[in-house]
């Protein structure tokens, strides 16, 4: 049985919440805080910037836009023509032009 992976994220000043990494679908940065979306629909607001959270995440979390990181395990389709990522739960996220090359590299396409 595979052991679940988890991280702690700061949700208030000096209050940290444990989150199972495999449940995180994507993260959105809003100003100096981040919204962490989970597979069961729960939403966690962290008082940390997305970049700080990204440092604790494994390689399957890819920055796709200046305001978004996605867990590639939850991606259904990537359309480089329209620069969009469609997630498994009917959510569409734009790919930032600066991140398009990284997405192609992750997908191992040229």
Task: Determine the CATH number of domain 6-107.
Answer: 2.40.50.1020
The residue whose two tokens read 């989970």 is 38
Res. 1 pLDDT band, cuts 50 70 90? very low
For 60-84, what is each residue's pLDDT tens digit?
A: 999 999 999 999 999 999 998 999 9
Averaged pLDDT for residues 40-45: 91
Distance from C-alpha of 81 to C-alpha of 72, rounded to nearest angstrom: 18
Q: What is the pLDDT of residues 19-37, one digit of tens each?
A: 999 999 999 999 999 999 9
Domain locations in the chain as residue ranges: 6-107
């Amino acid at each position: 049985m595979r052991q679940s992976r988890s991280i702690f994220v700061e949700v208030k000043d000096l209050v940290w919440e444990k989150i199972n990494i495999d449940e995180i679908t994507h993260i959105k940065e809003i100003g100096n805080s981040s919204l962490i979306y989970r597979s069961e629909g729960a939403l966690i607001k962290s008082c940390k910037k997305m970049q700080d959270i990204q440092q604790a995440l494994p390689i399957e979390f890819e920055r796709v836009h200046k305001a978004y990181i996605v867990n590639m395990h939850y991606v259904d389709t990537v359309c480089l023509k329209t620069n969009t990522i469609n997630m498994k739960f009917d959510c569409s996220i734009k790919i930032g032009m600066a991140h398009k090359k990284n997405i192609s590299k992750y997908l191992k396409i040229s």
